[in-house]
Structures are given as structure tokens and as C-alpha cells.
């Protein structure tokens, strides 16, 4: 089928005159309308599990800016919650979970066959969105990658160096591998259901891939990605997949080929000139403006945006930030970035 949606065209390998654009965390705290709807829901997790309100916050940045894609409003930590981990958010600090330190902790988790009992509201959000989005807007579903999700499940919170997960992987690899395998199977199931509900693309967030070195990167970033992508392609061969091994650096080279991803998302730790030569030669790329430009704005934002568009101009490219937009960003800077990309 010939695609008309720009993101799907780029993901199919087409070089477009103007790259399509969306933004990580585009529904979020920098938008007053998001804060209002979150207030209505009560808290962040209630918002994730209220299909009408989650769909509403997903649509807000589409209405305000006309992005080419909408990303489902949810969180990577809903899957561990559906597998039986306790999850809550501490305002101003971030997520907290029950920890997994022993075989007994792991054995308390639920099987993948039970995740839909918790996650069905998320599928309902996807269904609402596929009805309500403008016809030119692509709907992206997502999940966290096993390594990144495991770093939170093991430590019970975000950690600066993922130390507790590294320690468990080194000291009790049998247990650690069981966690990775459960998350791998769970992710295939969760994303398949999002696709069946109407997600047209899925993105795999491996936010902490950069702390895996050498053979660990192959075992815990490349291998799970390969399995998840193969599992999804077997069930949904036409759904493109974006992989985001954040912080991969040199390991971005060949990542799409090694895993079967249709596109790799780049963080701002690599230059667009280098990535055009070494990564875009293999696949579509997404990225990679520094999120801090959404706070600082001005001529630097315009210059850097133009530089990225030019560097990736000879191949398939989806414009995005190198990581999520932060709560202190100015919504006017987002408009300036979009206008610059679209040459207005
Ligand atoms: C590591 C990770 C998480 N969640 C996610 C990741 C991977 C991407 C990344 O590296 O940022 C992914 C995510 N989280 C959220 C989305 C929604 C879609 C989007 O607009 O991008 C997506 C794709 C909403 C969210 N997830 C969260 C918020 C803020 C919660 C709030 O409204 O108070 C949002 C909008 C909370 C969250 N969720 C998580 C953390 C560590 C935190 C706290 C830090 C923070 O506050 O930014 C886990």
C-alpha cells in the first residue's frame, strides 16, 4: 500500500523534502492544558489509566502544533505494574516500585497472560485515538525495553548509574536473565495489543542502553530488541518499529541491521553529520535536537535545527529531540522549532 502519512513514508525509506516532526514527551508538564487535565485526573497514574483523559492529553500537542505523529500517553512502567510490581510516583522525585532482589521476589510476579487485566485501559486509549486523530497524523505506541525497565524494577526507582541492576546482572545472572526474558515476552504481548487496537508504529525506549558496555550491550540491548522486533514482525509484519538505544554512541552503527528496526532514534550525544554517514546509511533515523533548546530558544535553536535538517537531508529522517522535552520548556520555542523545520 502506498503511504500518504509522512512519518510512514519516512519509515518506508523515503527521503522527504521536509522531514516529518514530532517530539518526545510532547504531552507533558510544559503545557498548561496538560497540567489542567492531569489535575482533573487526580494524579499521573490515574491519567494513564483513564482512556478519555489520556486520549485528551495525547491530542493536546496535535491541536496546538499539528505534529505529524501523536504518541500514546502512558508510561514504560505500566508493564511492570501489570506484571505485579507495586508502582507509585512521588511528586518532584519520580517513580517508586517494589524491588526485585531475590528469586522469591521474582516468583511473586504474574505471568504475561495476565497483563491485559491491568493494561486494557491503555488499549482503549489507543482505540479512541485512532478514531479521533486527524487523518494525516500517525499514531505511535510504545514500551520500554527490558534492560531499562529492569533497572527500575531491580532498584525500585531511577538511579544515576543503574548500579543496582548492574550488580544483580553480575552477581545473579540466572535471576537477572529471568527478569529480562519475562519483560521481553511481556513487551511483545503489550505492543501487539497496542497495534491491534490501532497503533500504526511502535517505539522501543531503551533510555539506559548507554550504561551497557561491550558484550553486555549485545546481550541486554541488541538481543532483546532482536527478539521483540522478530516477535512483533511475525504477528504484524507491516508495522514499522523505531528503536531508541539512548546513549549507544558508536554502537548506533549497525543497530538497525542487527535488530531489524526500521528506524533508530538518536540522542544528542552524536553529531548529525556523523550519524548521517554512519547510521542513516542503514535505515531511517529520528532526532536529534538537544532538549535544552526548548528552554533557551533564540537564534541557537534556529541554527541547530537547520543544521540537523541539512545533515539528514539526503536520506529518510524524522525530526525529533534527542530526549524528552522538560517541564521548564517554553511552548513558544516548540513552535519556533516546527516553523524552522517546515521552512516557515
Ligand atoms: C524512563 C522512562 C519513563 N517513562 C518513559 C521513559 C522512557 C523515555 C525517557 O527516557 O524519558 C516514557 C514515557 N513517559 C511518558 C510518555 C508519554 C508519551 C510522550 O508524550 O512522550 C512516554 C513515552 C509520560 C510521562 N511519564 C512521566 C511524566 C511526568 C509525570 C507527571 O505528569 O507528573 C510523563 C508526562 C513520569 C516518569 N516516567 C518515568 C520517569 C523516570 C518519570 C519521572 C521523571 C519525570 O517526571 O519526567 C519512566
Residue-wise pLDDT for 273-286, tens only, equals 999 999 999 999 99
Q: Is the dihedral of CA 317, 319, 321, 324 positive or negative?
A: negative
Is the per-residue pLDDT at 186 higher than 80?
Answer: yes
Task: Supply the mean pLDDT for the chain.
Answer: 97
Report how far residue 128's alpha carbon sits from residue 50's, in angstroms, rounded to the nearest whole number: 11
Is the per-residue pLDDT at 1 higher than 60?
Answer: no
Is the per-residue pLDDT at 120 higher than 70?
Answer: yes
If you count them, how many residues does the chain have?
Answer: 344
pLDDT in tens, 239-259: 999 999 999 999 999 999 999
Q: How confident is the model at residue 272 (pLDDT cuts 50, 70, 90)?
A: very high
- CA of residue 33 to ligand 1 center, whole Å: 17
Specify the CATH number of the domain 6-341. 3.20.20.210
Q: Is 27 annotated as a binding residue?
A: yes
Closest residue by Cα to residue 334 from 141, 67, 84, 135: 67
Tell me, what's the pLDDT at 278?
98
Mean pLDDT score, 206-210: 98
Contact 323, 267 (CB under 8 A): yes
Mean pLDDT score, 5-34: 98
- Please report which residue ranges of the chain form alpha helices under DSSP H: 6-11, 32-41, 44-48, 51-65, 78-82, 103-107, 116-132, 146-155, 163-171, 173-197, 214-217, 223-235, 255-259, 272-278, 293-296, 298-311, 331-341
Distances (CA, A) of 293 to 34, 60, 337: 21, 21, 9
Report how far residue 260's alpha carbon sits from residue 335's, in angstroms, rounded to the nearest whole number: 34
Could you confirm whether 29 is annotated as catalytic? yes
Contact 51, 124 (CB under 8 A): yes
Q: To the nearest whole percent, how much of the chain has pLDDT over 70?
A: 99
Is the per-residue pLDDT at 127 higher than 60?
Answer: yes
Nearest CA to ligand 1 atom 11: 324
Catalytic residue among 152, 190, 220, 252: 152
**End-to-end Cα separation, the chain, in angstroms:** 31
Q: Kindly state the cell numbers that stand for 280.
A: 542513516
Q: What is the pTM of this model?
A: 0.97
Q: Kindly state the cell numbers that stand for 158.
A: 531511577
Tell me, what's the pLDDT at 91?
87
**Complex-level ipTM:** 0.94
Pocket lining: 28 vs ligand 1, CB cutoff 6 Å = yes
Q: Strand pairing of 94-97 and 87-90?
A: antiparallel
Tell me, what's the pLDDT at 3?
73
Q: Ligand 1: which of 23, 72, 76 to mutate, most ligand atoms within 8 Å of CB?
A: 76
Tell me, what's the pLDDT at 2?
66
Mean pLDDT score, 94-105: 98
Nearest CA to ligand 1 atom 44: 94
Distances (CA, A) of 94 to 89, 186, 210, 294: 5, 23, 20, 21
Could you confirm whether 235 is annotated as catalytic? no
Is the per-residue pLDDT at 294 higher than 80?
Answer: yes
pLDDT in tens, 321-333: 999 999 999 999 9
Amino acid at each position: 500500500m502506498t503511504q500518504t502519512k509522512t512519518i510512514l513514508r519516512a519509515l518506508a525509506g523515503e527521503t522527504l523534502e521536509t522531514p516529518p516532526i514530532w517530539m518526545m514527551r510532547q504531552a507533558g508538564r510544559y503545557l498548561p492544558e496538560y497540567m489542567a487535565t492531569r489535575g482533573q485526573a487526580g494524579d499521573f497514574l490515574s491519567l494513564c489509566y483513564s482512556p478519555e483523559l489520556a486520549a485528551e492529553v495525547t491530542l493536546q500537542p496535535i491541536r496546538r502544533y499539528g505534529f505529524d505523529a501523536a504518541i500514546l500517553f502512558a508510561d514504560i512502567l505500566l508493564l511492570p505494574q501489570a506484571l505485579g510490581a507495586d508502582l507509585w510516583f512521588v511528586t518532584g522525585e519520580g517513580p517508586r516500585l517494589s524491588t526485585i532482589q531475590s528469586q522469591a521476589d521474582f516468583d511473586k510476579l504474574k505471568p504475561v497472560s495476565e497483563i491485559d487485566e491491568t493494561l486494557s485501559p491503555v488499549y482503549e486509549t489507543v482505540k479512541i485515538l485512532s478514531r479521533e486523530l486527524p487523518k494525516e497524523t500517525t499514531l505511535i505506541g510504545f514500551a520500554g525495553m527490558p534492560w531499562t525497565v529492569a533497572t527500575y524494577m531491580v532498584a525500585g526507582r531511577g538511579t544515576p548509574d543503574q548500579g543496582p541492576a548492574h550488580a544483580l546482572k553480575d552477581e545473579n545472572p540466572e535471576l537477572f536473565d529471568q527478569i529480562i526474558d519475562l519483560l521481553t515476552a511481556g513487551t511483545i504481548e503489550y505492543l501487539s495489543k497496542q497495534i491491534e487496537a490501532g497503533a500504526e508504529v511502535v517505539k522501543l525506549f531503551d533510555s539506559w542502553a548507554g550504561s551497557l558496555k561491550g558484550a553486555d550491550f549485545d546481550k541486554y540491548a541488541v538481543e532483546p530488541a532482536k527478539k521483540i522486533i522478530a516477535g512483533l514482525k511475525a504477528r504484524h509484519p507491516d508495522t514499522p518499529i523505531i528503536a531508541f538505544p539512548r546513549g549507544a554512541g558508536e554502537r548506533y552503527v549497525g543497530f538497525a541491521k542487527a535488530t531489524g528496526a526500521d528506524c533508530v532514534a538518536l540522542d544528542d550525544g552524536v553529531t548529525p553529520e556523523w550519524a548521517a554517514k554512519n547510521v542513516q546509511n542503514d535505515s531511517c533515523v529520528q532526532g536529534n535536537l538537544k532538549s535544552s533548546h526548548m528552554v533557551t530558544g533564540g537564534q541557537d535553536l534556529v541554527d541547530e535545527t537547520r543544521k540537523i535538517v541539512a545533515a539528514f537531508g539526503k536520506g529518510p529522517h524524522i525530526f525529533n529531540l534527542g530526549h524528552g522535552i522538560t517541564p521548564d520548556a517554553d511552548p513558544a520555542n516548540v513552535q519556533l522549532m516546527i516553523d524552522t523545520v517546515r521552512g516557515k
